[in-house]
Amino acid sequence: MSAFGRSPSLMPPARPRRWLLRVAAAGVTAVVAGSAAAVAVSTPAAAATVDTNAWYVLVNRNSGKVLDVYNLATNDGARITQWSRNNGNQQQWQFVDSGGGYYRLKSRLSNKVLDVYNWSTANGASIVQWSDHNGANQQFRLADSAGGYVRFINRNSNKVLEVQGASTADGGNIVQYDDWNGANQQWQLVRVDGQNPPPTTPPPGGTCDLPSSYRWSSSGALAQPRS
């Protein structure tokens, strides 16, 4: 018996050092693998790329209509709406690089850029056009959605461009809202380089709320003689 009353033969057998090394190595491997998995999960998907020399029409996924400067306006504060596509200058946009992955969207018609009115950070705030001052409320980054569509996230508010109320009508307002990846927040970038856009003459008077462009045709008589 030892001085403490315990026989050396009853002591737990020592584990082979090789086994301990294997356990330690497995633990390190698990930690490394877990860290790698965490890094993989946190890596964001690459955003769509744009050509800053090109002009685009922006087609909404929900309505099939495009981003449009309402009524061919050229003034600061003019409404931005959706409208049936006609490739007019009021529907063509160029991406101007602001750095850091952000862009301003410049109208071919007015040379003004998309702007969150009055630097608002609220849901439902109006999107207008304004003279380019490269403010954070005029800067947007692109976030990918499925099927080749993107969302436009404002640098100032961190909200996205959307068609208000998921409208499918001509003249539906464009506003900002929390990003929930809705179809009314998704846009397809369609290049229009080399195309000859139709004339973009404002309606007579310049103040009435008429469509950006319209076409009417008839395939038959408007009235039939009474039998």
Q: Which residue has the higher pLDDT, 16 or 92?
A: 92
Instruction: Find the DSSP H helices in the chain.
Output: 17-42
Is 32 a residue whose pLDDT tops 50? no
Percent of the chain at pLDDT > 70 equals 64
User: pLDDT tens digits, residue range 60-75?
Assistant: 999 999 999 999 999 9
Please tell me the least confidently modeled range out of 9-13, 96-100, 109-113: 9-13
- Cβ proximity of 156 and 196 under 8 Å: no
| Average pLDDT over every residue of 126-154 | 99
State the pLDDT confidence band at 47, using cuts at 50, 70 and 90: low
Q: DSSP letters along 172-222, please?
A: PBEEEE-----GGG-EEEEE-TT--PPP-PPPTTS-S---S------SS-S
Structure tokens at 177: 């809202």
* Domain 56-191 class in CATH: mainly beta
- Cβ proximity of 212 and 87 under 8 Å: no
Can you give the pLDDT at residue 194? 55
| Average pLDDT over every residue of 160-177 | 99
pTM equals 0.67
| Average pLDDT over every residue of 89-95 | 99
| Distance between CA atoms of residues 174 and 125, nearest Å | 9
| Average pLDDT over every residue of 132-155 | 98
Residue (of 125, 127, 103) closest to 189 by Cα position: 103
Can you give the pLDDT at residue 49? 84
| Distance between CA atoms of residues 92 and 83, nearest Å | 12
Please tell me the least confidently modeled range out of 24-38, 92-106, 170-184: 24-38
For residue 143, list its beta bridge partners.
151
Domain positions in the chain: 56-191
